[in-house]
Chains A and B, each alone.
Chain A
Amino acid sequence: MAVAEASQSLTIDDRETEGKGINFAAERLAQEARQPLSFSGSRGTQDVTAEFAAAAKQLPPGQLVKDEYFTLFEAVGALEIMDPKMDSGYIPPGDSVEPGFDVCLGLPAEEVIWIMDELLRLTIVWHDGYPLSQTVYPSLHVDRLLSPDNKAPYTFSFGDSTDQYVETEERLVHVVLRAFCVALVKSCALVLHTIQSQGFYEEEDFVTHLFGRELLPGTGADEALRLVDEAVRFVEEESELDKDMRSALSERLQFVRLYVSLLMNDIDDWTDMTAMDEIADTHALARARPEAFSDKVQRQLATSTPPRPMVPITWEEAHQRWLQLSADITEAGDLTDYDVCQSPHGLQRAIWVFVYRNPTPNTFARAYLQNILFAGEQVTEGITFFDLMLTDMRDLVLAGHELADPQSFVVEMPADPRHKCSRIMEAFMDKAFDEYMNLYRMVCQNRCRIRRTFTQSVGILDNLERDAQRSDSELDGVIGGILLPTEDDSALIALNPLTSWTKYHKLLVMSWTIQLGFETDIYLPHETGMMYWYLMVFAQRRRKLLEHIDRFTSARVKNLASSGDVRPHADAVVSLDWLAVLRKEVDLIISLSSALWQLNTALAMTKVIEAPKRDYAQEQLLYDVRMKSYLGIAHDPVPSLDEYRDAEQSIRSTDEACVNVDSAVKDAKACLAELKKTTSKQGKYFGTENEWKREMKQLETTCVAVAVQTFQLRSTAYKHGQHSLKGIVEVRVPPPGSRYHDWWPVPQIKIKEKIAVV
């Protein structure tokens, strides 16, 4: 009523707008505020059909009345009421408004078991990214608990005590099923909390929408556990059910209790979730009661989107997914343990390994891993994000050097060069922080998003290189540059550690965008050759940079050996070993991408792979579309289309291409042989040894496949002696998922049967 009084003093000046617009609205608001409001217990309805139709008649068809704020955003949000495709509140004629099932009725044990199993199945479907409105909410028992009219202690009878229910079947519902539902809902709240506190993409990965309901805010997870314990006690001691039924019910209660405890971090052994197997064993005891679930609950939910099509999964599939979730989370803990985190590179590898598990871990598991690393101030005991980044710089470019020594950062004397340099380092690391942390965080996202983010990172890292150059300059100003004479001793070159470090990551990310491009099937068959060429070029540049860094680390090792600084010397030696492994890895990429570039070129030369006619395309513009993310690079711009064409034309014949392929494959195999001899310490792949080995095998198989296909092509070309093998040879590129290694598509050649001439 204070509003009504205050509104009396509103002045309305409608001289300028003739009573329309904002002043009219203000007057109307004031009028409405003055009217007494009527409450009649529940929200009443008023039929405005006549008024609405009359108002609508005043607009002729085709007249559009909108202000500038009505955008496509608003248009898309519009729902046509009574259109069943859009209006989830629509009730088809003859259908009842509400489902007829009475959730307060007692149920036999078999049916309670079925309802619990169904809820477990639907919960794991929710984990896969389907909304609550179509998974857990359609349970009428859950729906009753979540009803806006319900309150703590959330019973099926709207907060009334459950003491009135004395029959076994009644208590199976009001004590046992209720406890199960409460605990399950609390588990959803805990899962949601973890997911929402970390990185994910709404709707792509997961749907967090609660549809206007809350997940039992008046009851804590502890209370849920207490209810479950009570329910177990009832089942075991009072229910007088036969042994199998008691077992089955207890197992389910204990499972959900375990799940909630794990989510609360009260306990942390997720392998115990294999208790799901026992539940599966007793699933046969369940007897269906489908009326306990109904889509009609969606009519009461706050939603602006229609229900989405869902692919149903069987109970057995759900069982497997629960086991998979448990295995994934256990693995997440192992892959991020203290020892793995000691090496930033090792940790990065571990995250890649985690998300490349097959099947891909679901959104919650990936959020769980991110939570371990990023929820607090440290990725693991004693290692902050700053430590991680400094270690990364030290391992790659500054091993054994004072600049990256953590001790330098705690020197307090302002005049001390270590103090000055540390501040310069910190200022740069601040700028680089977000993009650096993306190297860990973004890998936890879906594959498409990983690539999309890294294509944007390329430009950002290139800009960062400029900042790095400035910082390196400032460091030079304090301690002089880190210098070495050139090979011919004519000049001095500088390490420029920060620039080198930034450039290295830029080149690494550039390679990833191409390889992820192969994995997400972005490139058409006729583009593949060119992309392999660019992959080779990016790898060659990374190679040169590693050589550059290596010169300085080698020199430092020598100096430290004679200086007697044991610790820095040891660090530098370890770094040198690792740089050697990195060079081998990059040599492998150079050789293999060279081979595949030239194989694809040979296929193009023999017209087995051809670009389609493309009336609206021009070569340079196709190049622009394809290479867009790399074109803005200011530091070492990428080769132009002409430069690529020159490289292509340097291959003079199909035969020459095939010979080159064989040679490159040989080089690649030699690299693999060397790499297989490295230890996890040298290669910094501690914690992911099995995946390392497996990847080596996949790459070996890829090498063999390339050689085999090339041989086939070469001998066919020789036999036919023609320039064009079109119609004689067909090529097929296996889609991602059916390649030896998803980052290395190898064209499969098929020689068509010669048609007999009659």
Chain B
Amino acid sequence: MSGNSKDAATNGPTDTAEATSKVTGEVSIRYVAYGSEKESPYLPAIRQLISKDLSEPYSIYVYRYFLYQWGDLCFMALDDDDNLLGVIVCKLEPHRGGPMRGYIAMLATDAEYRGRGIATKLVRLAVEKMIEKDADEIALETEVDNIPSLRIYENLGFLRTKRLHRYYLNGNTAYRLLLYLKPGIPYRPTFPPEYPGEAGTQGQRLMSEDLMQRQIARMQVEDVHNERRDVTGTSASVR
């Protein structure tokens, strides 16, 4: 998703098109959780930092969806003046009624502070917290040519499980990355996804996803199918 934007995490020379001059020298950075305050004063800064990097716009409701329910899984990198240098936004809930799945929805670093390992640190903090909260697995999507992002996650132990054709609004393709934290997950039962085998019926469109659902997919909410069924009634996932 655009959430893990191309240059969100660069541990080396950036190849970004923008010729942003980087801040040099020592910077005192502290890492803080967003916490349980719903409309924290940091919310506008988070929105701004994330939307700067992204081609896809999110309404305030999307941020609130994550931060109201999983404020403790959101970490911010701040300098001494409380400027936001980087942020990671996640959630943690059962995946299709089965394993507890952590999901990294957005990760962004201020362009002037790239190359300092901020993004890696934020990811580590999120992963540690999810482990502490008994996550079984962690998932995310990122663009196939977002090498810095891929490097961070793959160096932590994430593997590519799927390639997602033209996943993003701008037509870019994505990888789904997955990390198992506990044994036995492949053997645990989950509800089936909306199975594309419905193509077996003649003249049917495979997986007729309407625009809204694709928008969700672009938002990288992987269990969107479960949620869509839940609109009509029951959901353990959204509380």
Q: Which residues on A are within 8 Å of B, measured CB to CB?
A: 61-62, 64, 68-80, 83, 85-86, 129, 196-205, 209, 303-306, 308-309, 311, 374-375, 433-435, 437-438, 441-442, 445-449, 451-453, 456, 460, 520-524, 527, 612-617, 620-622, 624-628, 631-632
Interfacial chain A residues near B65, Cβ < 8 Å: 72, 75
Q: How many A-B residue pairs have CB under 8 A?
A: 215
B157 touches A73 (CB 8 A): no
In the complex, the answer to whether B59 meets A452 with C-beta atoms within 8 Å is no
The answer to whether B200 has its CB under 8 Å from any CB of chain A is yes
Query: Please, how many angstroms separate the alpha-carbon atoms of A202 and B214 in the complex?
Result: 8
B199 touches A441 (CB 8 A): yes
B82 within 8 A of partner (CB): no
Taking the closest CB of chain B, its distance from the CB of A631, in whole angstroms, is 5
Return chain A residues, CB-CB under 8 Å to B216. 72-73, 76
- Distance in Å from the Cβ of B169 to the closest Cβ of chain A? 5
Min CB distance, A576 to chain B, in Å? 32
> Is the contact region of chain A dominated by helix, strand, or loop, or is it mixed?
loop
Contact, CB under 8 Å: A614 / B59: no
* Chain A residue contacts of B62, Cβ below 8 A: 72, 75-76, 78
Q: A435 contacts which chain B residues (CB < 8 A)?
A: 197
Q: Which of B162, B165, B180 contacts A201 (CB 8 A)?
A: B165
B207:A201 contact, CB within 8 angstroms: yes
Q: Considering the chains assembled together, what is the distance between the CA atoms of A96 and B127 in angstroms? A: 50
Assuming the contacts A448-B163, A449-B196, A621-B183, asked whether A76 and B215 have C-beta atoms less than 8 A apart, the reply is yes
**Given A305-B215, A449-B165, A80:B60 Cβ within 8 A:** yes
Contact A614 B183 (CB under 8 A): no
- When distances are taken between beta carbons in the complex, the residues of chain B under 8 Å from A62 are 37-39
Chain B residues lying within 8 Å of A86, measured Cβ to Cβ, are 57, 59
Shortest Cβ distance from A72 into chain B, in angstroms?
A: 5
Are B197's CB and A308's CB within 8 A?
Answer: no
Cβ of B157 and Cβ of A617 under 8 Å apart? yes
A69 to B234, CA, bound (A): 9
Within residues 190 to 212 of chain B, which ones have a CB less than 8 A from any CB in chain A? 195-197, 199-200, 202-212
- Check B57–A448 contact: CB distance below 8 A: no
- The reply to whether A616 and B181 form a contact with Cβ atoms under 8 Å apart is yes
Asked if A631 and B187 sit within 8 Å, CB to CB, the answer is yes
Taking A85-B51, A209-B211, A309-B55 as given, write out 11 further A-B residue pairs in contact, using a Cβ cutoff of 8 Å, ordered by the A residue number: A62-B38, A73-B224, A199-B205, A306-B57, A456-B195, A521-B160, A522-B163, A524-B159, A613-B155, A616-B127, A625-B180
Bound CA span A64–B231, Å: 18
State whether A628 and B212 are in contact (beta carbons under 8 Å apart), knowing that A69-B231, A86-B57 are contacts in the complex.
no
Whether A61 lies near B163 (C-beta < 8 A) is: no
Check B170 against A308 for contact (C-beta < 8 Å). Answer: yes
Q: Which residues of B contact A433 (CB under 8 A)?
A: 200
CA separation between A445 and B235, bound complex, in Å?
32
A448 touches B180 (CB 8 A): no
Interface centre among A69, A86, A452, A625 (most CB of B within 10 A): A625
Are A79 and B195 within 8 A (Cβ)? no
Complexed CA–CA distance, A73 and B217 (Å): 10
Which of B18-26, B106-114, B171-179 touches A? B171-179
Partner of A73, one of B181, B182, B228: B228
List B contacts of A527 (CB < 8 A): 159
Shortest Cβ distance from B128 into A: residue: A616
The interface residues of chain B lying within 8 Å CB-to-CB of A615 are 124, 156-157
Question: Could you pull out 29 A-B pairs where Cβ atoms are within 8 angstroms?
Answer: A61-B39, A68-B239, A71-B231, A71-B238, A72-B216, A72-B238, A74-B231, A76-B212, A76-B221, A78-B60, A85-B57, A86-B59, A200-B205, A202-B205, A202-B207, A203-B209, A204-B166, A204-B167, A205-B165, A205-B166, A305-B214, A308-B171, A447-B165, A520-B163, A615-B124, A616-B127, A616-B156, A625-B178, A628-B186
Evaluate contact between B206 and A524: CB separation under 8 angstroms: no
